[in-house]
Chains A and B, each alone.
With several copies, the nearest count.
Chain A
Amino acid sequence: MIEITPDKIDHDRVISCVRRDSNGAVAVFLGTTRNVTEGRKVLHLEYEAYRPMADNKLSEVVLEIRQRWSVENIAIVHRIGKLEIGEASLIVAVSTPHRKDAFLACQYAVDRIKETVPIWKKEYFEDGEVWVGSEFSSTHS
């Protein structure tokens, strides 16, 4: 399961999707939007993806995980569009027979997603907005 979607992330659905009766461990990562960045209050956020490149890069991460850890059951959902504070922007769930692989694969997947998948986040403040990772910012006049 790989999805880039404007819909709210339903973690129950994602966890159910990877769980198997033959697997004893499920590691899950939820990335949620924070209300403060460097001391500034964030009002809401916006995520933008370059599709279909982002979909391709997510598939590559899944493929890499499967090859490195023989992990069959991995799900990634990345949300795009406008998000309120505290909502999940990303979920990665991995299920494996034993827990060490689940943790390693889940953490590695999250790292790779943040490095390689063309999805950008804009934080909206009371007095302006900033694309995160960019050296540029715009301020309401």
Chain B
Amino acid sequence: MSCFSVRLFASYRDLVGKSTVLMEMPEGSSVSDLIIKLSGRYPLLTSAPGKLVIAVNYEYVDHTYCLTEGDEVALIPPVSGGSK
């Protein structure tokens, strides 16, 4: 098993009530596997799990991305920095 810290920001952090959650996943797990496990634990967070935007080590990745122990995973809420 590998250990990942998953960072939560803005609306996601408020929903879960903390800014980091630790997740244990089997070696070779993908981002998709992680999301499935997260949605089990925090159903509110992953009401639309297919659409979750994920960053690993400060870069956007797609859901097939294969995680490595020590990766910093972040769930990125919809970005909306100002007026349209």
Binding site for A on B (CB under 8 A): 7, 9-11, 14-15, 44, 47, 55, 58-60, 74, 76-84
Number of A-B contacts (CB under 8 A): 85
Query: Which secondary structure dominates where chain A touches chain B?
Result: mixed
> How many positions in chain A have a CB within 8 Å of any CB in the partner chain?
35
Query: Which secondary structure dominates where chain B touches chain A?
Result: loop
Alpha-carbon separation in the docked complex, A114 to B7 (Å): 21
B74 A121 Cβ-Cβ under 8 A: no
Alpha-carbon separation in the docked complex, A133 to B53 (Å): 13
Chain B residues with CB below 8 A from A135, complex form: 47
The 3 lowest CB-CB distance pairs between A and B, nearest first, are: A24-B83, A133-B78, A133-B80
Additional A-B contact list (17), CB under 8 Å, known A117-B81, A120-B77, A133-B77: A25-B83, A47-B81, A48-B10, A50-B9, A53-B55, A53-B59, A89-B82, A98-B84, A99-B83, A114-B84, A115-B79, A118-B9, A118-B74, A118-B79, A120-B9, A131-B77, A134-B11
